[in-house]
Amino acid sequence: MAGGKTRSLTPKKNDGKAIRVTTPSPYGSHSSMLVNEKGNGLVELKDDRGTYITESWRLDNGQADPNRNAESRFSNESVQPAE
């Protein structure tokens, strides 16, 4: 962005209350959010709502991660690595 200004992100809503987004983006998964590598291509990440499991190929790919944005966060057993 010109002039060194950062883009203002619209806060997510949680029970009608705004949540300040402190991650690189409000919807994508990023390597800076990494908590633990689970093996089999799975990683555990942490954002403003807590931790979740997703596939490692989803990190820093510029797209929204459906595992991050799911109403119920996925556990180790519910996410299967891509083949």
Tell me the pLDDT of the chain (83 aa) as tens digits: 455 545 445 555 556 666 677 888 888 999 999 999 999 999 999 998 889 999 999 999 999 999 988 766 655 555 555 55
Residues 64, 77: Cα–Cα separation, whole Å: 21
Model pLDDT, residue 17: 67
Strand 34-39 versus strand 17-19 pairing type: unpaired
pTM: 0.64
Type of residue at 52: Y
* CB count in 10 Å sphere of residue 58: 20
What number of other Cβ atoms are within 10 A of residue 75's Cβ? 9
